[in-house]
Amino acid sequence: MTKKLSFLFLSFFCVFGWNSISAQQIEVDDLQVKTIPNAEHVCVLDPTDVNAHLHIRPSREMQQKIQAGATTASFEVDFGISTGNSCGDTAWPADAINAFEYALDIWGLHLQSDVSLKVQAVWREFDTGPEGGVTLGSAGPYQGVVVQSSAVGEPNTYYSLAQITAMTGVAIREQLQNPVDYDISVNINCDFRNWYFGTDANTPANLIDFVTVVIHEVGHGIGYFGTMVAPEDEENESEFLGTAEWGLGNPPAPVILDRFAVDGSSVPLLNENVYPNPSEDLYQALTGQRAGVFFDGNETRGTLDGELAKLYSPSEWSPGSSFSHVDQQTFSGTVNALMRPQMDRAQAIHSPGPLFCGMLADMGWPLGIGCLSFLAADAVIALDRRVVDYGVTNAGEVLEEKLIISSDTSSVETMSGAVEIDDDNFTIVGNNNFSLEPGESTEITILYRPRVERRHSTTMSVFHNAKNEQSPISVPLRGEALEVEKIVKLDQSYPNPVVPENPAPKIPFALSEDAHVLLDLYTVHGQRVQTLVNSMQQSGRYEVEVDMNGLSSGVYIYRIVVGDQVRSRKLLFFN
């Protein structure tokens, strides 16, 4: 769930497999950091005049998880105050804050991060565009980072602060030589008058859904941006030189999105034998003159039935829109419409959607349960058991069990997933996500920590992107705790009273440790009728059946002796 920070906005800088490393392993010298040029223009999102009447809500399961705070990534957001402009120095409206936090909760279900991600939310005025256009919002990461001396991510490739934090499990913003306060900055137009702040995904005609815009902008902030750019003519800023270039630093290095960009013939745009950097050829490709620009990733292909994802490449370069969005026309009116460069009215997309989740997976983002539910990889999942039973212990003790998750050798693709438990009596040790190549397996360690005497049960959810089983797989967890230092618990027999139609009642009892058990049945006058158990028994729960045939009606006593602990109860029999 989101948390609000009390410090104020001081200054504004717009700037599948992964390996987790600890904070102690990351030194300042390991981090190669570059400010993202013009990051405030990573996305310049404009509204259209189209009433799309498209309403995509989170599933009921996802809504329940949002309400329960069961997210796999958390965000801390600083709303501060608005910048000094025509909107005035007033704080964010309460309904805008509520909608913003709801959007972050949706992201919290689709991403996986052990470290809270910090967001700066700026309520500000935007300049009117050259043709009178309105900008709804913009966003970007604070900086691009390479962890040089580790196996995190692609070599010599920049990632957003948010993504490198999620990949390493370390608050990288705090490890920088010049630490920063935020991972992401999101700007929203305070002067736009047609916002819909509801969270029900029922946006009326002519209004723009605020939640959808925030989800879109955060998508850029977490790393959906490229360095492909067409320089402007310094003498005429409305004209371009007709060349394009990419990269951060000298020599230039790409960001992760750049690595997946190809032309219509599947030639990578980073192939300098075909597209020198900079060059007119690259500009032609980015403006659609080489049969379009596409994102080519395995997970992304899987969401589009094997097709490449077309990126926005209008015939004239559009700063803040070209390349770092999916194609406007191709994905309009679809579940994948979120990351287009323009936002329709009467449209609510409260989900990243399968396409964007696929792109994030290809770029190496650790994914949460929401995205994993979209990605059905050509992989086969197997569990070594479908129930985890801890048996009986005592309150305050800790029991450990392991669940082995495997990617079958018949798998073709990497299988990714995460496990989740929402019960304080059961906890997962270590990382709760996994990424397995065909034939690989991982052990998930689950602890049972009962605090009070009672039987405990819950369900562990195994979210995955395999094709052979629906995600999530539910694995029941159960255990029982007796009072501290109590070895045996004797429960009431059932049925009670016993009638001729059912003359074989059962006597339940539980042992918290291996012990010799003596269980006898007596008349109410103390005469022993039967010895039911007289042997060593392992810890656990038992039910002993009693044959009442031949006995007279009346009250009987059953007594159990375990060490120096003696328990007894009554049984009523009608013959």
Laid out side by side, the sheet with 31-35 consists of 31-35, 143-147, 159-160
Residue 143: per-residue pLDDT: 75
* CB 52 within 8 Å of CB 347: yes
> Does one domain contain both 120 and 243?
yes
Residues 276 and 132 in one domain: yes
Q: Is the preceding omega at residue 130 within 30 degrees of 0, hence cis?
A: no
CATH number for the domain including 515? 2.60.40.1930
Cis before 141? omega within 30: no
DSSP conformational letter for 24: G
Are 343 and 393 within one domain? no
* pLDDT score of 470: 79
Residue range 80-89, pLDDT digits in tens: 755 555 575 5
Q: Do 411 and 533 share a domain, yes or no?
A: no
286 with 158, same domain: the answer is yes
Last residue of a domain, one of 335, 355, 372: 372
Structure tokens at 368: 């949460």
Structure tokens at 492: 């009431």
Cross-strand partners of 77? 4, 119
> Cα 273 from chain centroid?
39
Listed residue (158, 152, 119, 354) closest to 251, CA to CA: 158
Distance CA 323, CA 288 (A): 10
Instruction: Give the pLDDT confidence score for residue 223 in this predicted structure.
Output: 92
The whole-number pLDDT of residue 120 equals: 92
Pair 29, 177: CB distance under 8 Å:
no
Distances (CA, A) of 347 to 310, 340, 343, 344: 21, 13, 8, 6
Residue ending a domain, among 372, 401, 417, is 372
d(CA 118, CA 143): 13
Instruction: Answer with the one of 372, 394, 412 that is the final residue of a domain.
Output: 372
SS3 content of the chain, % helix, strand, coil (to 5): 15, 35, 50
Both 334 and 451 in one domain: the answer is: no
| Helix spans in 26-185 (H) | 60-68, 94-110, 161-168
From residue 294, give the alpha-carbon distance in Å to each of 45, 107, 128, 309, 507: 20, 25, 30, 5, 68
pLDDT value, residue 38: 56
Residues of the chain with pLDDT under 50: 1-24, 40-41
In a shared domain, residues 87 and 154: yes
Residue 133, pLDDT score: 66
**372 by DSSP, 3-state: which?**
helix
Both 213 and 168 in one domain: the answer is: yes
Q: In terms of domains, do 194 and 109 share one?
A: yes
Residues 338 and 469 occupy one common structural domain: no
418 lies in the same domain as 503: no
Contact 212, 199 (CB under 8 A): no
What is d(CA 450, CA 193) in angstroms, rounded to the nearest whole number?
54
Length of the chain: 575
β-strand 342-349 against 137-141: which pairing, if any? unpaired
Distance of alpha carbon 221 from alpha carbon 48, whole angstroms: 22
The 3-state secondary structure of 203-246 reads CCCCCEEHHHHHHHHHHHHCCCCCCCECCEECCEEEEECCCEEC
User: Which helix (H) or strand (E) covers residue 349, if one does?
Assistant: strand 342-349
C-alpha to C-alpha distance for 12 and 534, rounded to whole angstroms: 77
Say which amino acid occupies 467. Answer: K
Segments forming the whole domain that contains residue 409? 381-482
Count: domains in the chain = 3
Q: What is the pLDDT of residues 435-463, one digit of tens each?
A: 888 999 999 999 999 999 999 999 998 98
Round to whole Å and give the CA distance between 411 and 34: 39
- DSSP helix/strand/coil, 292: coil
Our CA angle for 525, 531, 533, nearest 5°, is 135
Distance, CA of 85 to CA of 92 (rounded, Å): 14
**Domain of 415: which CATH number?**
2.60.40.10
Q: Give the Cα separation of 173 and 117 in Å (integer).
A: 10
pLDDT of residue 10: 23
Q: How far apart are CA 195 and CA 97, in angstroms?
A: 13
Looking at the fold, whether 167 and 233 belong to one and the same domain comes out as yes
Comparing CA positions, the residue from 273, 128, 119 lying closest to residue 192 is: 128
pTM score, two decimals? 0.69
The pLDDT value given to residue 37? 62
- For tokens 């328990």, name the residue: 567
Q: How far apart are the two ends of the chain, measured CA to CA in Å?
A: 61
CA geometry: angle 482, 487, 493, nearest 5 deg: 75
